[in-house]
């Protein structure tokens, strides 16, 4: 049958020319689909004489099988070609160096904690830690602040809940890092040299106060440590931290229940045209409280005050971060505003260290 040969040639050519799987499917539908040309021909068999039908039927089945086989072969070939193409275009050279991707930034408070840890480590201070939910004994009593002491009111303390019927004094959110003095001395005894950076809490909220803020406690106990050692340590720290050739500190007599004598410390600075400069000028900025550790505090922590003495200080981390990096509003520290973090934040993998330069 000439007609069948023509059809065969037509569809085999179409199969050969199909450039992708969708085109091939169109050829399949046109030939063998329900309404395809060959299907239609086979439908016409019913009207033929039995003998003719037999011969034509066999020929048509042969044709159908041939086209079907060609379609399948082409489909497999197209699939292989698509895979080859993907392998060619989607390769990845795993030996290439990584592409740097911005991962977010280090918060100025974290940066400053790393910086001051590096500076104090260089002076022989280890890092000590304590819990943020603290017993009132560690937060107050052991620091020579008995229950009736007015300093308890001044601390604007957050109290934790007690279970119904539990009449013990409630735990508190620590109001300062000073309880870590007690914990460190109780655990390690004397001599000891530690700093304790961390979060503290007071019920207070305005442009310069947030209910949570950060302090770093310093504690150095040995046989003959004096206020002179305190002064040198703080001056060394401030020079290194503010990255200036010299600083001037002013010690003002003050009072804390846990130190005797006590001093608040101011740093010389200037505010010219809204620009803060540390180390020169005619202004003073308070940055910390300090003093010689009270004998009662040593005794509460199991250290014999006849044998040991030393200094302690507590410094506001957020405050010195604002001073060093010119950040005007404390509240912005804790608003998690991405634009603020990108502006004031620090590169994630730059660990501050003294030889490398603290803040670069």
Which residues would be at the binding site for ligand PHE (CB under 6 A)? 176, 178, 256, 259, 289-291, 312-314
Give the CB-nearest residue to ligand PHE: 314
Least distance from C-beta 107 to ligand PHE, angstroms? 22
Residue 120 three-state SS = helix
291 vs 352, which CB is nearer to ligand PHE? 291
125 vs 256, which CB is nearer to ligand PHE? 256
Antiparallel, parallel or unpaired: β 192-201 and 126-127: parallel
Q: How far apart are CA 217 and CA 184, in angstroms?
A: 11
Spatial contact of 107 and 348, defined as CB atoms under 8 Å apart: no
Q: HSE-up of 102 (CA within 13 Å, CB side)? A: 7
111 vs 290, which CB is nearer to ligand PHE? 290
155 vs 171, which CB is nearer to ligand PHE? 155
Least distance from C-beta 101 to ligand PHE, angstroms? 41
| 243 backbone φψ class: left, alpha, beta (φ>0; ψ -120 to 50) | left
24 vs 195, which CB is nearer to ligand PHE? 195
Q: How far apart are CA 113 and CA 282, in angstroms?
A: 28
197 vs 291, which CB is nearer to ligand PHE? 291
Least distance from C-beta 340 to ligand PHE, angstroms? 27
Least distance from C-beta 121 to ligand PHE, angstroms? 20
Closest CA to 195 of 157, 163, 155, 237: 237
Least distance from C-beta 216 to ligand PHE, angstroms? 10
Tokens of 264: 């608040």
Distances (CA, A) of 217 to 84, 98, 195, 212, 293: 65, 41, 5, 16, 12
Least distance from C-beta 187 to ligand PHE, angstroms? 18
């Amino acid at each position: 049958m000439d007609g069948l040969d023509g059809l065969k040639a037509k569809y085999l050519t179409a199969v050969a020319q199909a450039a992708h799987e969708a085109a091939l499917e169109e050829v399949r539908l046109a030939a063998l689909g329900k309404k395809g040309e060959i299907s239609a021909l086979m439908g016409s068999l019913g009207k033929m004489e039995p003998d003719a039908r037999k011969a034509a039927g066999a020929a048509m089945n042969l044709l159908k099988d041939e086209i079907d086989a060609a379609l399948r072969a082409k489909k497999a070939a197209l699939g292989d070609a698509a895979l080859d193409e993907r392998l060619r275009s989607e390769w990845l050279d795993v030996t290439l160096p990584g592409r740097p991707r911005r991962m977010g930034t280090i918060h100025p408070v974290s940066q400053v904690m790393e910086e001051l840890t590096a500076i104090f480590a260089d002076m022989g201070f280890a890092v000590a830690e304590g819990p943020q939910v603290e017993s009132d004994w560690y937060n107050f009593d052991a620091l020579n602040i008995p229950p009736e002491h007015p300093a308890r009111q001044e601390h604007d303390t957050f109290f934790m809940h007690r279970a119904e019927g539990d009449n013990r004094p409630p735990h508190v959110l620590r109001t300062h890092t000073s309880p870590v003095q007690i914990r460190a001395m109780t655990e390690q005894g004397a001599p000891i040299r530690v700093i304790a950076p961390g979060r503290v809490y007071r019920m207070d909220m305005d442009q310069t106060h947030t209910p949570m803020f950060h302090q770093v406690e310093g504690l150095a106990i040995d046989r003959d440590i004096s206020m002179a050692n305190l002064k040198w340590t703080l001056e060394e720290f401030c020079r290194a931290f503010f990255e200036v050739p010299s600083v001037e500190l002013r010690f003002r007599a003050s009072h804390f229940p846990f130190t005797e004598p006590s001093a608040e410390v101011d740093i010389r600075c200037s505010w010219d045209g809204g620009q803060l400069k540390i180390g020169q000028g005619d202004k003073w900025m308070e940055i910390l409280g300090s003093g010689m550790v009270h004998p009662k505090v040593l005794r509460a922590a199991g250290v014999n005050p006849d044998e040991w003495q030393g200094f302690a200080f507590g410094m506001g981390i957020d405050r010195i971060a604002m001073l060093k990096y010119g950040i005007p509003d404390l509240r912005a520290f804790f608003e998690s505003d991405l634009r603020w973090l990108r502006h004031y934040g620090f590169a994630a993998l730059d660990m501050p260290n003294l030889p490398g330069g603290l803040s670069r």
